[in-house]
Amino acid sequence: MEQLEWLPAHPDFRGALRAARDEHDPAARLRACVSLANYNRDFVVTDKLDRLLQTALAELGAATKLTAARVALLSSHTVDHLTPALRVAGVSRRLAVSTHVAPYGMYRQSLLGDDPALAAFQPQFILLALDGQDVAFDVPLEAAESEVDHAIRVRVDELRRLWRCARERYGAQVIQQTLVPVTPSLFGSFEALVPATPFAMTERFNAAIRSAAGEDRVLLLDLAWHPIRGSSALGDPVRWHQAKQLVSPLLAPLYGDLLARVVAGALGLSRKCLVLDLDNTLWGGVVGDDGIEGLQLGQGSPTGEAFLAFQRYVSLLAKRGIVLAVCSKNHLEVAEGAFTNHPEMALRRTDIAAFVANWSDKAQNLRNIAHLLDLGTDSFVFVDDNPAEREIIRRELPEVAVPELPEEPAYYAARLSAAGYFETSSFTADDAARSRNYVANAERRSMAEQATDLDGYLRSLDMTLVTTGVGPVELPRATQLLNKSNQFNLTTRRYTQVEMSELVTAPSSIGLCLRLVDRFSDNGLISVIIARQDPAWAGDELLIDTWLMSCRVLGRQVEAAALQVLAERARKRGVRALIGEFRPTPKNSLVVQHYEKLGFTPAAAPAGASAGATFWRFDVASQSVPTHFIQLSEQA
């Protein structure tokens, strides 16, 4: 099957690999490897690329911009041959993945008993990959539905125990692979009407896994759902009988990417913003030449319907929280005119948070869009039908994801979906409202430009800061925000949901989730603060382990209001002082003076503090917080 079809073909992959191998500087070698990982590749060159990649990563140690991810694979079949593709896909999704494979078939022992090798690896993620042979149900073919359901419940309960062990013993986020049906049909189309056929049981088992995973905060590698299930290289009986491989080496690049994107999504590295070209991307034809009435869009022509279907898909992405932007070579009035005046447009001008149409080069325009939206270009996906524009962006802004687009617009949506840029580990009401918030932000910005005095502007926003703890409801979104915030993030500590939950439920900890509501919109969760006791500080002092905030509420005095909430809670607990910590990264210089501005006084760094970190003290009894115009509201 065609795989990684969104990645462009390299004219001379092996030649580029050889050139990269001769590169002495490991940082340059890593750059070359990351670039090659973003080209279409079969399993042979993927394996070669992995070997080279590992030399660069080994020499560089922690000195890369990639996010480290330790992934343990526990399986009932052979998976060793899949790890190179996982590591290569990792760097294409900004991860430095290291892998550990537990001996095949030993997953129960690893989780229920002691597995010193696994413990030493300290997995952040544990993939549990089972297969139909392993999960054989001992149920007669004529069994009644209730008997089948009982057998499935027994297996799912066992799985949940294993998940709990993975969490409690290793502190790892579990990723459960769904079962791929491999037994050929016994009854043909009647198959699913017999509850105990292998096929029907696999389907029911997968449905039960999905619902249990939702309850237990386990992530899925849903092979049974993904188009990959149709590949003959998955569940190939020759490879199974030869080497107990469920996934043929042929399919390793795609499998590796599917797993890497789940890990990247959990660590907040998925893309956030979809930047779209207009002519021949969102509609057929060139609006500047053909006029609005000459565009192919909507019912009546197959091409017009294909473009409309793509617009509808994009509009659904916006509804799940993907921010939309337009970057087009056009006159602005002409381009916007098509949005307001074409009756068949599924996308509205108000769906687009940043609308840039001019004749400048698109790389510069993408930088401008990033600035307008307060997002990094590394959160962008750029969709353009023009191969030349795609090449320019890949060269000028290699951090932007630029999928190859098929010639046929009817396949645009499927291609964008296949590329898996927007994988996530949670979906909340805040996500659904995000695109609308970005549009509201643009309005707020224009109001700020009109207001002559800042205090007046801030008062006019009617802001309320709503505080909750980090409970089960808030946990997914709080973890998501924690893992993707880079700029306004004092310590850039990353936690999985499991780690986060442990941290905030400690009796001495204070965990705060803050939402900001103003007259334009509910901005959703915009800040997470965690304070905890730390052995380096006194018993009546709380270290602010984590303080992060979404940049879209910068300049609104939220920091001061948040400190007021935190200080009041601390005071009630008998805490004497809050200790602020700032740990510098290449991205968080924005907050270097955060604690100073809030009135904290410098404190000496304790032994064992991370390099360059600064520490600050705030006496909660005697000090007051800076002025702000935000009302406070506490919710249980």
Partner 1 sequence: MTEPEIYASLTEVFRDVFDDDAITLNADTTAADVEGWDSQAHVSLIVAAEMCFGVRFRTAELERLKNVGEFVSVIAKQLRT
| The two structure tokens encoding residue 611 | 């390099």
Identify the CA nearest to 596 among candidates 490, 514, 455.
490
Binding of residue 81 to partner 1 (CB under 8 A): yes
Kindly tell me which residue out of 239, 477, 515, 594 binds partner 1, with binding defined by CB under 8 A: 239
Piece of the chain touching partner 1 by CB under 8 A; list 157-165, 236-244, 432-440, 503-511 = 236-244
Binding of residue 310 to partner 1 (CB under 8 A): no
- Do residues 322 and 348 make contact, with C-beta atoms less than 8 angstroms apart? no
Q: How far is the CB of 337 from partner 1 (least distance, A)?
A: 51
Piece of the chain touching partner 1 by CB under 8 A; list 73-81, 88-96, 345-353, 469-477 = 73-81
Piece of the chain touching partner 1 by CB under 8 A; list 57-65, 127-135, 180-188, 235-243 = 235-243
In Å, how far from its chain's centre is CA 623? 39
Angle between helices 26-37 and 83-92 (to 10 degrees): 100
Binding mask 152-171 for partner 1 (x = CB under 8 A): --------------------
The CA distance from 579 to 618, in Å, is: 6
Piece of the chain touching partner 1 by CB under 8 A; list 198-206, 237-245, 377-385, 595-603 = 237-245
Q: Toward partner 1, which CB reaches closer, 245 or 527?
A: 245
The CA distance from 207 to 192, in Å, is: 14
Identify the CA nearest to 205 among candidates 135, 138, 258.
135
Piece of the chain touching partner 1 by CB under 8 A; list 44-52, 417-425, 458-466, 508-516 = 44-52
Binding of residue 238 to partner 1 (CB under 8 A): yes
Q: How far is the CB of 1 from partner 1 (least distance, A)?
A: 13
Q: What angle do CA 592, 479, 624 make, to 5 degrees?
A: 45
Q: Toward partner 1, which CB reaches closer, 251 or 579?
A: 251
Identify the CA nearest to 132 among candidates 224, 195, 225.
224
Q: How far is the CB of 146 from partner 1 (least distance, A)?
A: 40
Strand-pairing partners, residue 328, are 357
Q: How far is the CB of 48 from partner 1 (least distance, A)?
A: 5
Kindly tell me which residue out of 58, 120, 142, 241 binds partner 1, with binding defined by CB under 8 A: 241
Q: How far is the CB of 351 from partner 1 (least distance, A)?
A: 44
Please provide the DSSP assignment of 323-368 as one string: EEEEEEES-HHHHHHHHHH-TT-SS-GGGEEEEEEESS-HHHHHHH
Q: Toward partner 1, which CB reaches closer, 19 or 243?
A: 243
Q: Toward partner 1, which CB reaches closer, 42 or 305?
A: 42
In Å, how far from its chain's centre is CA 222? 16
Kindly tell me which residue out of 249, 253, 403, 469 binds partner 1, with binding defined by CB under 8 A: 249
Q: How far is the CB of 251 from partner 1 (least distance, A)?
A: 10
Q: How far is the CB of 73 from partner 1 (least distance, A)?
A: 14
Binding of residue 29 to partner 1 (CB under 8 A): no
Kindly tell me which residue out of 173, 178, 202, 248 binds partner 1, with binding defined by CB under 8 A: 248
Q: How far is the CB of 575 from partner 1 (least distance, A)?
A: 56
- Name which of residues 250 to 289 contact partner 1 (CB under 8 A): 250
Spell 243-254 as b/e; 16+ CB within 10 A means b. ebbbbbbbbbbb
Identify the CA nearest to 271 among candidates 379, 355, 169, 397.
379
Residue 152: phi and psi, rounded to 5, are -70, -40
Piece of the chain touching partner 1 by CB under 8 A; list 26-34, 204-212, 234-242, 414-422 = 234-242
Kindly tell me which residue out of 133, 242, 631, 633 binds partner 1, with binding defined by CB under 8 A: 242
Kindly tell me which residue out of 6, 39, 43, 421 binds partner 1, with binding defined by CB under 8 A: 43
Q: Is 276 helix (H, G, I), strand (E, B) or coil?
A: strand
The CA distance from 502 to 358, in Å, is: 50
The CA distance from 119 to 110, in Å, is: 9
Piece of the chain touching partner 1 by CB under 8 A; list 78-86, 394-402, 536-544, 551-559 = 78-86
Binding of residue 516 to partner 1 (CB under 8 A): no
Q: Are strands 614-619 and 464-468 parallel, antiparallel or unpaired?
A: unpaired
DSSP H or E run through 482: helix 475-484
- Name which of residues 8 to 27 contact partner 1 (CB under 8 A): 14
Binding of residue 396 to partner 1 (CB under 8 A): no
Q: How far is the CB of 570 from partner 1 (least distance, A)?
A: 56
Binding of residue 39 to partner 1 (CB under 8 A): no
Angle between helices 43-60 and 83-92 (to 10 degrees): 70
Binding of residue 51 to partner 1 (CB under 8 A): yes
Contacts 24+ apart (CB under 8 A), 238-246: 240/77, 240/182, 243/78, 244/77, 244/78, 244/104, 245/77, 245/78, 245/81, 246/77, 246/78, 246/129, 246/131, 246/180, 246/182
Q: Toward partner 1, which CB reaches closer, 42 or 568?
A: 42
Determine the size of the site formed for partner 1 (CB under 8 A): 20
Kindly tell me which residue out of 27, 136, 144, 243 binds partner 1, with binding defined by CB under 8 A: 243
Binding of residue 413 to partner 1 (CB under 8 A): no
Piece of the chain touching partner 1 by CB under 8 A; list 238-246, 306-314, 587-595, 609-617 = 238-246
In Å, how far from its chain's centre is CA 458? 32
- Name which of residues 571 to 610 contact partner 1 (CB under 8 A): none
Provide the H-helix boundaries in 331-474: 332-341, 362-373, 387-396, 412-418, 429-450, 454-460
Cα torsion angle, 286, 292, 298, 299, sign: negative
Piece of the chain touching partner 1 by CB under 8 A; list 194-202, 242-250, 318-326, 570-578 = 242-250
Binding of residue 78 to partner 1 (CB under 8 A): yes
Residues that bind partner 1 (CB under 8 A): 14, 42-45, 47-48, 51, 78, 80-81, 238-239, 241-243, 245, 248-250
